[in-house]
Amino acid sequence: MIDDDASMRTSLSRMLINYGYTVNVFECPEDFIEQSIPVSPAAILLDMRMPTMSGTELQRRLNGLGRNTPIIFISGESLPHEIVIAMKQGAIDFLFKPFNLDDLLKAIASAVEKDKEVFKVATQSMTVTQRYESLTPREKQVCVLLVDGLMNKDIAVRLGTTDATIKVHKSRVMEKMQADSLKVLVRFLSLVRVSLRILIDNYMFFMRIYINSKVSLL
């Protein structure tokens, strides 16, 4: 939770802890960027109006860092265009203070459930990626061409080999990827691409933290 109001941080965190949630509180967006570590499943409760940075600006920065934890805005006062920006940037919900407890709990449950689904896909992606990395370079080529819709004979021509050799590679690809059909292989390769994107996003996030920490020491 990020809110510059100390009383709000205290009362809301105590209430959520009573409902079984683990709560980390931050006074300002800068503290959240510098100190928080991405976890899943999770949700972010974010105030809109804060002295050093608006909620939508923090949301934009987090999106830029590849941190896609669902955000619920809690605001005492916001203009219509701010609400529009927040929702366009991916906010799950927008609640005005003082908000109804049931509405907040429902919003949090929805956000956490969404993050669980994203985490599930990410976990599956990592598993499938490990299988994909076990393929030889030639098997990876065959895998990609199969998913692109090429027939064995077309792949053979493309790679300068025989139809029989491609059949052997295809069999090994299906076995190593644990795919019992081409349809499953297509889905698996899409998960590999998701996994690679997650790895790149995480790498860029931690590199930005490292660079910022080096700059602050200068």
CATH number of the domain enclosing 55: 3.40.50.2300
Task: Calculate mean pLDDT across residues 185-209.
Answer: 64
Does residue 77 share a domain with residue 155?
A: no
Top pLDDT among 11 and 215 is at: 11
Average of per-residue pLDDT values in the chain? 87
Q: Which of 3-12, 24-33, 58-67 has the lowest mean pLDDT?
A: 58-67
Reported as type and span, the H/E element at residue 93 is: strand 93-96
Tell me the three state secondary structure of residue 3: coil
Nearest CA-CA partner of 136 in 164, 110, 175, 101? 175
With beta carbons less than 8 A apart as the criterion, state whether 68 and 91 touch.
Answer: no
Q: Which of 98-102, 138-142, 189-193 has the lowest mean pLDDT?
A: 189-193
The count of structural domains within the chain is 2
Can you give the residue range of the structural domain that contains 149? 123-217
**Other C-beta atoms lying within 10 Å of the C-beta of residue 65:** 17
| C-alpha 47, offset from chain centre | 21
Does residue 100 share a domain with residue 25?
A: yes
Query: What's the pLDDT score for residue 207?
Result: 53
User: Domain holding 212: CATH number?
Assistant: 1.10.10.10
From 67, 92, 116, give the residue that closes a domain: 116
With beta carbons less than 8 A apart as the criterion, state whether 97 and 74 touch.
Answer: yes
Q: Is 96 a member of any domain?
A: yes
Q: Which amino acid is at 95?
A: L
Q: Please classify residue 101 by burial: count the beta carbons closer than 10 Å to its beta carbon, then call 0-12 exposed, 13-18 middle and 19+ buried.
A: exposed
In this predicted structure, the answer to whether residue 86 has a pLDDT above a threshold of 70 is yes
Pairing of strands 44-47, 71-75: parallel
Nearest CA-CA partner of 152 in 143, 59, 181? 143
In this predicted structure, the answer to whether residue 211 has a pLDDT above a threshold of 60 is no
Percent of the chain topping pLDDT 70: 89
Task: Calculate mean pLDDT across residues 138-163.
Answer: 93
Query: What's the pLDDT score for residue 129?
Result: 87
Does residue 73 share a domain with residue 36?
A: yes
Query: What's the pLDDT score for residue 197?
Result: 57
Q: Is 1 a member of any domain?
A: no
What is the spatial distance between Cα 144 and Cα 208, in angstroms, rounded to a whole number? 32
Kindly list the distances between the CA atom of residue 159 and the CA atoms of 61, 151, 162, 174, in Å, as whole numbers in the listed order.
44, 12, 9, 19
